[in-house]
Amino acid sequence: MTRQRPAVLIARTVFPEVVAHLQAHADVTMNETDAVYSPQELMAQLQGKDAVLTTGSERVDATLLAACPQLRMVANIAVGYNNFDMPAITAAGVLATNTPDVLTETTADFGFALILATARRLTESEHFLRAGQWNRWSLDMFAGAEVHGSTLGILGMGRIGQAIARRGAHGFGMQVIYHNRSRLDAATEADCKARYVEKDELLRTADHLILVLPYSAESHHAIGAAELACMKPTATLVNIARGGIVDDAALAQALRERRIAAAGLDVFEGEPRVHPDLLDLTNVVLTPHIASATMATRKAMAMLAADNVIAYLTEGRALTPLNPQVLQKG
């Protein structure tokens, strides 16, 4: 008897080589339009599917899992997985995977680019020039904040946070302080030239604060009005983590009132919607969730998700499982 090939849904458009790689092992259904499926559309598309490649746009929860009993695996093309209800996924015996490591350095590069752009007022000055307002030079024109030799604060010190710390300490001579749920070991702190501090000291001391922590119920609005009030009026804030970690409305008010100097944001609450108050400000750099967006890295992310699917459906294993206990039960 010929063994039936597994069926896989790719929920968003991915690179042709990734599709071909999956097609060698499974029957693949693709989202040709790249439109985000509604929850009902996703349920319909997942009927009869063994696995799905998702992005942050697709919510996987108990309701969806109950409607898709054949589903055995969900593979996120991202490091973060706040679109996954992990307790529900694990309770259903479904394997979940993500794509760590392959985007660490690229995302750290972009995080540091936002630090520089925010501190040195690049977006604001470019808009000024493009609007034809540059008619003379002055000594204090768009004078920003020093980066070299300043204090870099990192909230969340995982792989990406550590890569940013190394760039700041080794490349820019910055004093690096960090806060994390758990302190790093001494060797890693030494490699990053980073010093652990409590969150209130991080907020009070950092000249440039960057957020690299995962989103969860506990980290929702980890930076709100009270935290912004603790920061220096000359400080900058960069968020490359997830929308919802910052209270965007409170941040817009703090920026408008110049209670902090500037912000650089790659992620937003309710994205792709951006809080309208942020759009009216000149002292904020805004980018559309592109911190990992190089061709090489995005292809590597999608290929790792595909490799996870292939490994699980053909061999019962996974490269980067989020709930390995499901593998043990199998």
Q: Are strands 95-97 and 236-239 parallel, antiparallel or unpaired?
A: unpaired
Residue 271 is among the residues annotated as catalytic for this protein: yes
Distance (Å) of CA 213 to CA 41, 48, 175, 264: 31, 36, 20, 16
Query: What's 195's DSSP letter?
Result: E
- Quick one: pLDDT at residue 150? 98
**How far is 246 from 90, CA to CA, in rounded Å?**
29
Residue 242 is among the residues annotated as catalytic for this protein: yes
Tens digit of each residue's pLDDT (9 = 90 or more) over 43-87: 999 999 999 999 999 999 999 999 999 999 999 999 999 999 999
Q: Are strands 284-286 and 73-76 parallel, antiparallel or unpaired?
A: unpaired
Contact 166, 189 (CB under 8 A): no
- Quick one: pLDDT at residue 330? 58
Query: What's 324's DSSP letter?
Result: T
- Could you tell me the strand order of the sheet in which 236-239 lies? 194-196, 175-179, 151-155, 208-211, 236-239, 262-265, 284-286
Distance (Å) of CA 283 to CA 50, 251, 305, 314: 47, 11, 37, 51
Residues in the chain, pLDDT under 50: 1-2
Catalytic hit among 12, 121, 242, 298: 242
List the one residue out of 84, 32, 121, 3 whose CA is nearest residue 321.
84
Element (H, E) at 111: helix 104-119
- Quick one: pLDDT at residue 328? 86
- What domains, with CATH codes, occur in the chain? 7-102+295-329 (3.40.50.720), 104-286 (3.40.50.720)
- Quick one: pLDDT at residue 64? 98
Beta bridge partners of 90: none
- Joined together, the tokens standing for residue 261 give 């100097």
- Joined together, the tokens standing for residue 312 give 């699980």
- Coil/strand/helix, residue 320: coil
